[in-house]
């Protein structure tokens, strides 16, 4: 058997191993889409329009169709520029529209569907590598049944980013540094939070270097691994850094130009002060106080899950990645309704729940997932037909 045939057989075996997770994921997403279609029809709305031609998806398709430079000036003086949106998803929409009869919006929907499956497979690969196959299946199903899981099927960049991040982390965990760096660079071209993938790779690379220096680590797997590690570190930030520098050059504001673009959207990093004020504001009257208490409980749950991840001794790159994604989501001054979907790529936070679910009997875990999936499908349909994810 040739080397190429060996690799093909290995990929086929990996796909067979991940098949239960992917089939389960597809079933949960199909349930969510069915619930959305029924709910939207009852309100004389188009479910497909909600998935492909609302909120951020319109900005992505506009970039794909017209390029950068479009902006909207609001009566209060704010300027919403499409330079805020990173380019990989629009590029893929352009490619899809160029090689198929699909429109840009249709291509964005297809990209998100395929990317969500790739993300599910990547999450399975990471969880399987760290905790075993049952935990891998459970991690994928938990990611699928997140309350805002419907975003995974929208023409948004969350699924694409999560796929690139998950496979980059898997490459780090398996010592494939150049692959990890290339995927991290692509993640950096997808969303600003690509910084989290780069940070995870760098942390793992530095830790590996220190182990090598101390002589306490595993011997290098092959000659040149140190060079490949350095190359991966160099590649990782190129995507995000390249786009940010290009925006600065285009706006004439230098390296900080992208921050000015984000400021036009009232986005920024304030350490969580704006979010804290928002939560405190909910506590001043009833019934909004219930929402405030729920937000506090949600943040407490996230922090508790991260502490459990640390106690479980998750690999360093997973801890760094999940920590950076969580901090950037909670401490940004952006629209507060977007925070649940901004947290969606932080899948390592689900691993403690996945390992607990994996310890149950199959019938019990299936009942738990099925029940949560029904609730998630109903909530996603309600959410998307209401305020939705800007």
Residues 6+ apart with CB under 8 A from 207: 316
The angle, 0 to 180 degrees and rounded to 10, between the axes of the packed helices 158-173 and 194-214 is 10
Distance (Å, whole) CA 309 – CA 326: 13
122: helix, strand or coil: helix
Q: What is the pLDDT of residue 336?
A: 73
Residue 115 has pLDDT above 70, yes or no: yes
Residue 181 has pLDDT above 90, yes or no: yes
Residue 217 has pLDDT above 70, yes or no: no
Q: What is the pLDDT of residue 246?
A: 96
Q: Please say whether the beta carbons of 18 and 134 come within 8 A.
A: no
Closest CA to 165 of 191, 130, 131, 142: 191
Q: What is the pLDDT of residue 8?
A: 61
List, for residues 331-383, the tens digit of each pLDDT value: 887 777 788 999 999 999 999 999 999 999 999 999 999 999 999 999 999 99
Residue 215 has pLDDT above 50, yes or no: yes
Residue 4 has pLDDT above 80, yes or no: no
Q: How confident is the model at residue 291 (pLDDT cuts 50, 70, 90)?
A: confident
Looking at 2-16, 76-90, 113-127, 293-307, which range is the least confident one? Answer: 2-16
Element (H, E) at 179: helix 177-188
Residue 219 has pLDDT above 60, yes or no: no
- Each domain of the chain, given as residue ranges in start order, spans 20-267+361-384
C-beta contacts of 254-261 below 8 A and 24+ residues apart: 258/83, 261/81, 261/83, 261/84
Q: How confident is the model at residue 2 (pLDDT cuts 50, 70, 90)?
A: low
Q: Please say whether the beta carbons of 170 and 126 come within 8 A.
A: yes
Q: What is the pLDDT of residue 268?
A: 81
Q: What is the pLDDT of residue 5?
A: 57
CA angle 278, 279, 284 (to 5 degrees): 95
Mean pLDDT throughout 181-185? 98
Return mean pLDDT, the chain. 91
The whole-angstrom distance between residue 171's C-alpha and the CA centroid of its chain comes to: 17
Q: Please say whether the beta carbons of 317 and 203 come within 8 A.
A: yes
359: helix, strand or coil: coil
Mean pLDDT throughout 21-43? 97
Q: What is the pLDDT of residue 390?
A: 67
Residue 174 has pLDDT above 90, yes or no: yes
77: helix, strand or coil: coil
Q: How confident is the model at residue 1 (pLDDT cuts 50, 70, 90)?
A: low
Distance (Å, whole) CA 157 – CA 90: 9
């Amino acid at each position: 058997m040739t080397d190429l045939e060996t690799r093909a057989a290995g990929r086929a075996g990996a796909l067979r191993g991940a098949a239960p997770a992917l089939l389960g994921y597809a079933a949960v997403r199909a349930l969510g889409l069915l619930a959305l279609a029924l709910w939207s029809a009852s309100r004389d709305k188009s479910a497909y329009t909600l998935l492909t031609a609302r909120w951020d998806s319109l900005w992505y398709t506009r970039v794909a169709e017209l390029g950068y430079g479009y902006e909207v000036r609001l009566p209060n003086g704010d300027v919403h520029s499409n330079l805020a949106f990173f380019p990989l998803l629009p590029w893929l929409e352009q490619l899809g529209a160029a090689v198929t009869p699909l429109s840009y919006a249709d291509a964005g929907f297809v990209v998100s569907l395929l990317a969500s499956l790739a993300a599910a497979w990547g999450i399975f690969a990471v969880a399987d590598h760290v905790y075993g196959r049952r935990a891998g299946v459970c991690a994928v199903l938990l990611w699928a049944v997140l309350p805002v899981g419907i975003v995974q099927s929208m023409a948004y960049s969350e699924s694409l980013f999560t796929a690139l991040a998950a496979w980059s982390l898997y490459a780090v965990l398996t010592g494939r540094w150049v692959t990890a760096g290339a995927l991290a660079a692509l993640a950096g071209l997808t969303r600003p939070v690509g910084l989290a993938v780069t940070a995870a790779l760098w942390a793992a690379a530095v830790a590996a270097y220190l182990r090598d220096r101390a002589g306490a680590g595993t011997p290098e797997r092959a000659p040149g691994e140190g060079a490949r590690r350095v190359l991966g570190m160099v590649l990782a930030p190129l995507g995000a850094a390249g786009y940010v520098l290009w925006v600065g050059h285009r706006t004439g504001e230098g390296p900080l130009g992208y921050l000015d673009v984000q400021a036009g959207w009232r986005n920024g990093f304030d350490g969580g002060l704006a979010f804290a004020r928002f939560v405190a504001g909910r506590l001043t009257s009833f019934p909004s106080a219930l929402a405030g208490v729920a937000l506090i409980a949600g943040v407490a749950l996230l922090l508790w899950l991260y502490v459990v991840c640390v106690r479980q001794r998750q690999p360093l790159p997973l801890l760094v990645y999940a920590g950076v994604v969580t901090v950037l989501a909670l401490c940004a001054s952006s629209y507060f309704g977007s925070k649940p979907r901004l947290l969606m790529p932080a899948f390592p936070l689900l691993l403690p729940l996945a390992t607990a679910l994996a310890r149950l009997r199959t019938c019990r875990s299936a009942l738990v997932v099925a029940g949560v999936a029904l609730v998630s499908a109903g909530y996603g349909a309600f959410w998307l037909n209401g305020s939705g994810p800007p």
